[in-house]
């Protein structure tokens, strides 16, 4: 019998052709909604390979049920949805999709920053609502970006790509990271800062940090209180690094000027979410890497990793290399 591959979202047949030509493949029949837990558990019991999304909880229970499971191929750079320790103990390879989405996600982060700074969404809705009756000096006045200070928390490849864009806008670049990035300091003039220094000095605080025990709930009420009243907070990394209630209070009380959010603590969020009731919040539905070109490349990389493992070869982008 051919190895069985289960995919937790509906993908185009063209993008998974590499798998359907070689293995038995089944997909969940919805593009947007995740496979229910009971479905995923049942499929894991049979599957040799899973292609999962960041919103799929691949925990110890699921991995233990997957007696035939050889690989979990995650359609994301991050893999905090996967119990990596259990996967490694059970000899299950975990792969992700790094590098291929760096520039696309940096584009989106920059668009979010610009939109929040210049109140683009708010202004567009103002026009559509028929409120535009004439010109006035401070009508929907936002904040300058050029020449300001940007603080990047999480200076990985995406952070460096955002910094390159900031350099083009003549911005002073501060960054905070677990390790110093000397090449970025030389190439971009980026300055390493402590976390407290960064949040106090920056006009734009951009977090691209991965979700770890150290970064969970990193942005608290105390942190927002240290920011400039004119500061704008951008989160295009992981939702749980911020305390949403604290952010709401900081925005509502004028402790900071605005926020641009691509991610949230629990996704998806509903239309009555408190942050969505604030006019100084630009919110989008976790679309950091969502360009047609990049998502297609990510899917094909997932498929390539699965094919390699099921054929007894090494995958291109393995997370837990100790399994090999």
pLDDT digits 0-9 by tens, 133-180: 999 999 999 999 999 999 999 999 999 999 999 999 999 999 999 999
CA–CA dist 321, 265 (Å, integer): 29
- Residue 120: cis peptide before it, omega within 30 degrees of 0: no
Spatial distance between the Cα atoms of 50 and 35, rounded to a whole number of angstroms: 12
Asked whether 51 and 75 are in contact (CB, 8 A), the reply is yes
Cα atoms in the Cβ-side hemisphere of radius 13 Å centred on 106: 19
Taking residue 53's Cβ as centre, other Cβ atoms within 10 Å add up to: 16
Q: Catalytic residue positions? A: 238, 267, 286
- Dig out the tokens for 296 from the structure: 């297609």
Mean pLDDT computed over every residue of the chain = 97
At residue 157, φ and ψ (nearest 5 deg) are: -65, -40
Contacts of 293 (CB under 8 A, 6+ apart): 104
Q: Are 179 and 202 contacting, i.e. CB atoms less than 8 angstroms apart?
A: no
Could you give the strand order of the β-sheet that contains 24-27, starting from the edge strand earlier in sequence? Answer: 24-27, 4-7, 49-52, 71-74, 93-95
Q: If you search the block for the tokens 């982060």, which residue do you land on?
A: 109
CA distance 56 to 126: 37
Distance CA 103, CA 3 (A): 35
- 313, 300, 316: which is closest to 70 by C-alpha? 313
Enumerate domains of the chain plus CATH numbers. 4-100+292-323 (3.40.50.720), 102-283 (3.40.50.720)
DSSP 108-135: HHHHHHHHHHHTHHHHHHHHHTT---S-
For residue 31, is pLDDT > 90?
no
CA distance 25 to 46: 12
What's the pLDDT tens digit per position in 267-324?
999 999 999 999 999 999 999 999 999 999 999 999 999 999 999 999 999 999 999 9
Whether 72 and 58 have beta carbons less than 8 Å apart is answered as yes
Residue 4 has pLDDT above 90, yes or no: yes
Query: What pTM does this model have?
Result: 0.94
What are the pLDDT digits (tens) for 171-211?
999 999 999 999 999 999 999 999 999 999 999 999 999 99
Tokens of 100: 């291929």
Q: Is the pLDDT of residue 251 over 90?
A: yes
Task: Find the mean pLDDT for residues 263-269.
Answer: 96
Beta-ladder partners of 49: 5, 71
Q: What local confidence, expressed as pLDDT, does residue 23 receive? A: 98
CA-CA distance, 38 to 84, in Å (whole number)?
21
What is the pLDDT, as a whole number, of residue 32?
86
Q: Are 198 and 225 in contact (CB under 8 A)?
A: no
Length of the chain: 324
pLDDT by residue (tens digit) across 207-237? 999 999 999 999 999 999 999 999 999 999 9
If you average pLDDT over residues 92-115, what whole number do you get?
98
């Amino acid at each position: 019998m051919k190895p069985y591959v289960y995919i937790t979202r509906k993908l185009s047949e063209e993008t998974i052709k590499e798998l359907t030509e070689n293995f038995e493949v089944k997909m969940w029949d919805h593009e947007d909604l995740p496979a229910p837990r009971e479905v995923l558990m049942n499929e894991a019991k049979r599957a040799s390979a899973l292609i999962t999304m960041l919103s799929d909880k691949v925990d110890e229970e699921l991995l233990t049920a997957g007696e035939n499971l050889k690989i979990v191929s995650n359609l994301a750079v991050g893999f905090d949805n996967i119990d990596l320790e259990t996967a490694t103990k059970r000899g299950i390879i975990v792969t992700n999709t790094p590098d291929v989405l760096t520039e696309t996600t940096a584009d989106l982060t920059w668009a979010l920053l610009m939109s929040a700074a210049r109140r683009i969404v708010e202004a567009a809705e103002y026009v559509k609502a028929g409120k535009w009756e004439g010109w006035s000096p401070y009508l929907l006045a936002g904040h300058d970006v050029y020449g300001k200070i940007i603080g990047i928390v999480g200076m990985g490849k995406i952070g460096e790509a955002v910094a390159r864009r900031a350099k083009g806008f003549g911005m002073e670049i501060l960054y905070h990271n677990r390790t110093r990035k000397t090449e970025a300091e030389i190439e971009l003039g980026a300055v390493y800062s402590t976390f407290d220094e960064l949040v106090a000095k920056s006009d734009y605080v951009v977090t691209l940090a991965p979700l770890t025990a150290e970064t969970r709930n990193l942005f608290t009420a105390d942190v927002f209180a240290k920011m400039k009243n004119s500061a704008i907070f951008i989160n295009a990394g992981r939702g749980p690094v911020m305390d949403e209630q604290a952010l709401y209070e900081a925005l509502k009380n004028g402790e900071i000027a605005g926020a641009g959010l691509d991610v949230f603590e629990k996704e998806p969020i509903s239309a009555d979410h408190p942050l969505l009731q604030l006019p100084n919040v630009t919110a989008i539905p976790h679309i950091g890497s969502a360009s047609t070109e990049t998502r297609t490349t990510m899917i094909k990389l997932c498929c390539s990793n699965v094919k390699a493992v099921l054929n007894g070869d090494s995958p291109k982008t393995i997370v837990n290399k100790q399994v090999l």
